Amino acid sequence: MVSAQHSTLTKTGDDSPIVYVVDDDEGMRNALRNLLRSVGFAVETFGSVRDFLDFKRKAVPSCLILDVRLPGESGLAFQQEMGRTGLRMPVLFMSGHGDIEMSVKAMKAGALNFFPKPFREQDLLDAVNEALARDGERLAAERSLASLGAAYESLTPREREVMAFVIAGLMNKQIAARMNLSEITVKIHRGQMMKKMEARSLPDLVRKAQALGVEPRR
The full set of domains in the chain, from first to last, is 18-142 (3.40.50.2300), 154-212 (1.10.10.10)
pLDDT in tens, 25-75: 999 999 999 999 999 999 999 998 889 989 999 889 999 999 887 877 778
pLDDT of residue 10: 35
What is the mean pLDDT of the segment spanning 92-120? 79
Alpha-carbon gap, residue 206 to 213, rounded angstroms: 10
Q: What share of the chain is helix, strand, coil (3-state, %, to 5)?
A: 55, 10, 35
- Cα radius of gyration rounded to whole Å, the chain: 24
HSE toward the beta carbon, residue 84, CA cutoff 13 A: 6
CB 36 within 8 A of CB 7: no
Residue 217, CB half-sphere, CA atoms under 13 Å: how many? 13
**Number of continuous H segments (helices) and E segments (strands) in the chain:** 9, 5
From residue 138, alpha-carbon distances to 60, 83, 93, 107 in Å are 10, 15, 20, 19
pTM of the full structure? 0.73
- Residue count of the chain: 218
Whether the predicted pLDDT of 8 surpasses 70? no
Closest CA to 187 of 155, 154, 159: 159
